[in-house]
Amino acid sequence: MLSVIVETADAGDRLPALLGALTSAAVDGLVREVLIAGGGPPELLEVLREETGADLVEDIKAGIAAARGDRLLVLPAKIRLKPGWLEALGRHIREGGGDAVIVGEGGGFFGEKPFGVLVARGPAAALAHPDLKRLRGVLGRGAARLA
């Protein structure tokens, strides 16, 4: 099962929608825990923590340290997951797939699409200052791309 770390620094307003999408992954047994990293409106975070059972951590590095799973799914709160993302992720994991990039919807005409990463905990923990771009760099060019 996965530990999910949601980085909220740039889009705390999208957090409720993302946590709602992750609920089905928890029900399916794919997600073990959710850690909310990076802050946001304290009142909103407290309500979401109580309603979802998510834990709050200071940043991605603290989330990696606190995670109980050996595999991490690190997502930005601003990501809008594509339809079918859960099935694609579940299939990838069941088939023994390794690290992967989770590509979201949106991003604008010239903008980069929001992305998350599925990564083993060890390489992620080895980074001095982990963020999504550095974690994506750990994956290398051969990493799978999931919708």
pLDDT in tens, 120-134: 999 999 999 999 999
* pLDDT (0 to 100) of residue 28: 79
Name which of 146, 142, 130 is nearest 58 in CA terms: 130
Interval 8-12 mean pLDDT: 69
Q: How far apart are CA 119 and CA 98, in angstroms?
A: 8
Q: How far apart are CA 30 and CA 82, in angstroms?
A: 17
| Strands of 1-147, DSSP E | 2-7, 31-37, 55-57, 71-76, 100-103, 115-120, 144-146
- Mean residue pLDDT of the chain comes to 88
Are 143 and 135 in contact by the 8 Å Cβ rule? The answer is no
Name which of 84, 59, 51 is nearest 9 in CA terms: 59
Sheet of 55-57: strand order equals: 55-57, 31-37, 2-7, 71-76, 115-120, 100-103, 144-146
Token pair of 76, please?
Answer: 């930005």
Q: What is the pLDDT of residues 55-111, one digit of tens each?
A: 999 999 999 999 999 999 999 988 989 999 989 999 999 999 899 999 998 766 666
Q: How far apart are CA 130 and CA 62, in angstroms?
A: 10
Whats the size of the chain, residue-wise? 147
Backbone Cα Rg of the chain: 14
pTM above 0.85, yes or no: yes
Homologous superfamily of domain range 2-146:
Spore Coat Polysaccharide Biosynthesis Protein SpsA; Chain A (3.90.550.10)
* pLDDT (0 to 100) of residue 105: 87
